[in-house]
A and B are shown apart, each in its own frame.
Chain A
Amino acid sequence: MAKPASRQPRRKGAAPAAGPRRASVAPLLLSIAVGLMVVFSFATVLLLIFGMLPTIVAFIIDRTPSKYSAYCVGGMNVSGVFPYVLELWNTGNNFAVAKHILTDVFALAVMYGASGFGWMVYLAVPPVVGAFLTVMAQRRVALLRTTQRNLIEEWGEDVANPMSELRRK
């Protein structure tokens, strides 16, 4: 037999029991992972933090829930940063190499240039897609109007105004 307390209805507006638990676990896990990485691979973390700055900025300034700009900039930014991360790991993964990379103008230009390209993609693609959709819609309207013209040609004007036919009857 269940205990009386367990039979009490959940309060209106209260979040499900699993919700807050999942929301609180992810940042915790992330914090633990970052903490472990700082402890065991400080140089990598440093490189990623400075290399991925455009992505972090994009994530912060994109107020939409889907965060497409962050994905767009982030994707390109990763492409720019990952070769240097690999170089860091291949050369001992120490702070000196990380400092060397971060002070190399060319390396910074590659990382930030890649993220800039990401921004350009993010800004250029939506208008192109919009224009494409408009053309498609216009083509559909033209097709429908042709269909209507054919119907009138085959069935007469009454097909466009059936009420006049009913009135005549």
Chain B
Amino acid sequence: MAEEAPVPLDDEVDEDEEEGRQPSQVGPRTPAVLFDRYHVNADAPLTGLDSPSARAYAVTDRRDPGRKLFALVCMPGLPTRTTVMSILKAEQPRGVLPLVEWGTVFWPPLGQACMAVVYERPAGGRLSEAFAQERINEFDVPRRIIEPVVQALHELSGRGVAHRAIRLNNLFFMDAGRQVLVLGDCVTAPPGFDQPLVYESLPRALAAAGGRGVGDMGDDTYALGVTVVSLLLGREPAARVGPDDLLVAKVEQGTYAALCGNERLPMSMIEPLRGLLHDDDNERWRLEQLDLWLSGRRMTPSGKRAVPRADTPMNFAGRNHLTARTLAWFLCRNVADGARVIRGGHVETWVRRSLNNADLADQIAEAVEAAEAHENDYMGSNDYLVTKIAILLDPRAPITYRGMSFMLEGFGAAVAVERLRRDDVQIPGEFIARGFATIWLDAQTGPKMGFANLERIFAQLRAYLQIQDPGYGIERCLYELNPSLPCQSPLVIRDYVIDLADLLPALDEAANRVDARTKPVDRHIAAFIAAHFSQDVDAHLKAAASDDEAESVIAMLSLLASLQLRYKTPGVLGLASWIGGLLGPAIGTYHNRATRREIEREIPRLVRQGGLTEMFDLIENTEKRRRDEHGFRTAVAEFAAADAEIQEVESGDVARSETGERQGQQAAAMTSVVIALIVVSVVIMVEIM
């Protein structure tokens, strides 16, 4: 299995680059401050408390300087278990390393914000260190190890949490006398991500580290079983066996036989270990059986195999496969060869004759025929065919598609890890679009608890993927699947924004360092908002995707103003100035020049206040918009009327000349008649007088 290489957490960054962004916190080796109380000192690493995905540093509590604390600073880009963090902090379950505080903190060595989880420092160190030199007494195991872990798991189980990080080096003694055992960190990485292969139960162990899924109590008791074996042996079992061989041995022989078969273990521990390491999830011991065993009741675990064995092996990829599970796994890892043997009918024949499963053989034959019928599209591709056949061969196993392997419930974390490793989400996108989730769900037999929810989620993801506008696509899938994943936009990635309330302050900071022509809402930010905002923002997103620059900018402003209103974010001067500079086309949507000038005069004042809501009201005032539209229509009509009158006047020269002549003649006639009347009257009057 390919394990992900952790990203170093103490890389030096260019000091100049840091300057000016967060003056209060920036500077090499300046303590990072969490909630103005916990100083995480980058100069004081506590390597003994590191976890595989997070590094430990000393913490000083400002209010209680004598308190012994440490912080695990998480790997940026890796989703963390924030929901579990909230539960652990709020409820402080017994038997679990006390989580004091968690949150994002600016981490000077990386020059960006990171998730930091503050724990109480365990005075007794790790369990693995305590028993590094000597083996634990077999009689101490139930009371000193199993019982406190079982109590801790009871506490977690009551809160609906699976720990998923129980291993030898993740158990700590809280006291210097090494009597109080607690479970270590489980929140700084996706569930099961930090677990060595040997601690993961089947079939989760077949998935890549990021895709092992949330799991349940059965996975924790399995890990407890492996931990106990490690303690009893004084080393991790099968440490010298390669990962492939270990997994094949687990599948073909069963975990107990693979890990303990050749070891000398105390007789008293064989029974619980057989129960804890059972590969059948339904037969594996859980807390109830452990409680009974701890109270002295003896039980015999069943010897039922988890997967059926074939009569004769099938040779593929240099191995003889006795189970469909290992064959499916190797087919997915050798796609070209796998497709060849599948298309050649070898797999179908082996399933029919050696596994004696005619129904499955018929399904395989049908899938091969379908692939041949669709040889010109993706359904005929080797990748599609091999993944589909692997699902049919081992429906409970993780899905492997183009090298990406994950449990369906762990798809979200797998996508995030895939993006972190390759900066590419094409394969997850293809997985969703090609309906593998439906194929997997259809192939499941037995109890289908929770499958309806998975079906609904993947149907929704396909719908998101079909829309290419900002706020949808694979980015939306990423954030819907990983609520704790920080926003991956290049604009705010350094600020580790996992809470929507922190987005505007982060964009406000970003305003100082990005090109002013860049839009403040890119695909990642749009998707992050859409996935986290409680209000329906579909209309905003649709408008933001418009080709019309003005409409797009107004929609962006509206979206960000909604956030400011919802989270009561104080003035964001930088962001307001940034958006103000982009509002040109939006102002241009007003026809009236005086209105435009008035808006242009008002914007600088609103920028100084940092109010996006006020800015939106200024730009998109309904009454103002209505008046502008009405005035424009009136003006158009007035202009057209004037135009028509001018045309009429200019085209009426001849008619006007005729009219003028006629009116002149009338005037002349009238004048003449009037003169005549006057003359006659005057003459008569003269005669009379």
Enumerate chain A interface residues (CB-CB to B < 8 A). 66, 68-69, 71-76, 78-79, 82-83, 86, 90, 118, 121-122, 124-134, 137, 140-141, 144-145, 147-148, 151-156, 158-160, 162, 165, 168
Q: Say whether B631 contacts A155, CB under 8 Å.
A: yes
Cβ < 8 Å to A, chain B residues 582-622? 591-594
Report if B666 contacts A (CB, 8 A).
yes
Q: Say whether A147 contacts B660, CB under 8 Å.
A: no
Report if B671 contacts A (CB, 8 A).
yes
Q: Say whether B687 contacts A86, CB under 8 Å.
A: yes
Report if B123 contacts A (CB, 8 A).
no
Interface size, chain B (Cβ < 8 Å) = 43
Q: Which residues of A contact B642 (CB under 8 A)?
A: 144-145, 147-148, 151
Report if B673 contacts A (CB, 8 A).
yes
A121 to B649, CA, bound (A): 28
A64 to B654, CA, bound (A): 19
Interface string of B665-688 (1 = CB under 8 A from A): 111110111111001100110010
Choose one: B548, B636, B650, B668; the contact of A162 (CB below 8 Å).
B636
Report if B627 contacts A (CB, 8 A).
no
A59 to B519, CA, bound (A): 87
Shortest A86–chain B CB gap in Å is: 6
A165 to B632, CA, bound (A): 11
Q: Which residues of A contact B638 (CB under 8 A)?
A: 147, 151
A155 to B594, CA, bound (A): 8
Q: Which residues of A contact B684 (CB under 8 A)?
A: 86
Shortest B620–chain A CB gap in Å is: 16
Q: Say whether B591 contacts A130, CB under 8 Å.
A: no
Most buried by A among B638, B669, B673: B669
Cβ < 8 Å to A, chain B residues 545-591? 548, 591
Binding site of B, secondary structure by majority: helix, strand, loop or mixed? helix
Q: Say whether A73 contacts B672, CB under 8 Å.
A: yes
Report if B659 contacts A (CB, 8 A).
yes
Shortest B443–chain A CB gap in Å is: 51
A160 to B591, CA, bound (A): 12
Most buried by A among B660, B684, B687: B660
**Are A130 and B661 also in contact (CB < 8 A) when A82-B680, A155-B635 are?**
yes
Q: Which residues of A contact B632 (CB under 8 A)?
A: 155, 158-159
Shortest B628–chain A CB gap in Å is: 9
Binding site of A, secondary structure by majority: helix, strand, loop or mixed? helix
Nearest A residue (CB) for B591: A155
Shortest A120–chain B CB gap in Å is: 9
A75 to B677, CA, bound (A): 8
Q: Say whether B649 contacts A125, CB under 8 Å.
A: no
Q: Which residues of B contact A124 (CB under 8 A)?
A: 668
Report if B643 contacts A (CB, 8 A).
yes
Q: Say whether B665 contacts A75, CB under 8 Å.
A: no
**Are A144 and B646 also in contact (CB < 8 A) when A79-B676, A130-B657, A130-B664 are?**
yes
Nearest B residue (CB) for A78: B676
Q: Which residues of A contact B679 (CB under 8 A)?
A: 78-79, 82-83
Report if B656 contacts A (CB, 8 A).
yes
Choose one: B591, B646, B676, B687; the contact of A75 (CB below 8 Å).
B676
Q: Which residues of A contact B12 (CB under 8 A)?
A: none
26 CB < 8 A contacts A-B: A66-B665, A66-B666, A69-B665, A74-B673, A74-B676, A75-B671, A76-B672, A79-B676, A86-B683, A122-B672, A125-B664, A125-B665, A126-B662, A126-B665, A129-B663, A130-B659, A134-B657, A141-B649, A144-B646, A147-B638, A158-B632, A159-B632, A159-B635, A159-B639, A160-B639, A168-B548
Choose one: B631, B650, B662, B680; the contact of A141 (CB below 8 Å).
B650
Most buried by A among B591, B592, B667, B672: B672
Q: Which residues of A contact B663 (CB under 8 A)?
A: 126, 129, 133
Report if B245 contacts A (CB, 8 A).
no
A131 to B660, CA, bound (A): 8
A111 to B439, CA, bound (A): 120
Report if B15 contacts A (CB, 8 A).
no
A153 to B665, CA, bound (A): 44
Q: Say whether B669 contacts A68, CB under 8 Å.
A: yes
Choose one: A76, A145, A165, A168; the contact of B646 (CB below 8 Å).
A145
Q: Known pairs A79-B680, A144-B646, A159-B635. 6 more at Cβ < 8 A? A: A130-B656, A130-B657, A134-B660, A144-B645, A159-B591, A159-B636
Nearest B residue (CB) for A89: B687
A83 to B482, CA, bound (A): 118
Q: Say whether B680 contacts A129, CB under 8 Å.
A: no
Q: Which residues of B contact A158 (CB under 8 A)?
A: 591, 632
Q: Say whether B664 contacts A75, CB under 8 Å.
A: no
Choose one: B593, B656, B671, B683; the contact of A133 (CB below 8 Å).
B656
A158 to B645, CA, bound (A): 20
Q: Say whether A121 contacts B639, CB under 8 Å.
A: no
Nearest B residue (CB) for A73: B672
Q: Say whether B672 contacts A156, CB under 8 Å.
A: no
Shortest A90–chain B CB gap in Å is: 7
Choose one: B636, B639, B672; the contact of A71 (CB below 8 Å).
B672
Q: Say whether B660 contacts A126, CB under 8 Å.
A: yes
Choose one: A68, A144, A154; the contact of B592 (CB below 8 Å).
A154
